[in-house]
Amino acid sequence: MQYPEPIAKLIDSYMKLPGIGNKTAIRLAFYTIDMDEKDVANFSASLLAAKRDLHYCSICGNITETDPCTICADKARDRSQLIVVEQPKDVMSLEKMREYHGLYHVLHGVLSPIEGKGPEDINIKSLVQRLQKNDSIKEVIIATNATPEGEATAMYLSRLIKPAGIKVTRLASGLAVGSDIEYADEMTLFKAIEGRQEI
């Protein structure tokens, strides 16, 4: 049996989301149909607003409504430290622990030769330009995930940054190998930053 076209389109839309397979998409589509029309309207308005109103900060690459983002614009932040992360959601995770008060730089990915991702495909060029223009940054903390691609990216960045005389450190053992920053709790992240090591 084929689904009516509106349901089929809704199922297809849900399947475009990461981690959503056919069965989950069907369940979500039917759940959406059963929702109150006002809730559906609010949901669709939220999707459109997120797409229209959010963009990337021209300084750090974090997701924001304003440019520069609130972190880059905050004069009270420690401008001698810069954490480099893979994705904007990693910034949110690190900010939750409320122990780090420096700046960020978002790469929007990692080096992955298998997927054809080289240095020009992620936000490395703007990081180098930022470090060249800003001599107040004394330490770059590399907080890529503890995956083979994350480690390769960390080593590449270290070799790129160290010749400029900037201290380069890596998050320490608070994070398990193969884990993502996004899923770590605040204490794990705090221990990882506290025990970082130069690479």
CATH of range 76-198; options 3.40.50.2000, 3.30.70.520, 3.40.1360.10, 3.40.50.1820: 3.40.1360.10
Domain 5-53 has CATH 1.10.10.10: no
Whole-structure pTM value: 0.79
Domain ranges of the chain: 5-53, 76-198
Tens-digit pLDDT profile for residues 95-135: 998 899 999 999 999 999 899 999 999 999 999 999 999 88
Percent of the chain with pLDDT over 70: 97
Tens of pLDDT along 151-197?
899 999 999 999 999 999 998 756 676 778 888 878 778 777 877 77
**SS3 per-residue string spanning the chain:** CCCCHHHHHHHHHHHCCCCCCHHHHHHHHHHHHHCCHHHHHHHHHHHHHHHHHCEECCCCCCEECCCCCHHHHCCCCCCCEEEEECCHHHHHHHHHCCCCCCEEEECCCCCEHHHCECHHHCCCHHHHHHHHHCCCCCEEEECCCCCHHHHHHHHHHHHHHHHHCCEEEECCCCCCCCCCHHHCCHHHHHHHHHCCEEC
Contact present, 86 and 107 (Cβ < 8 Å): yes
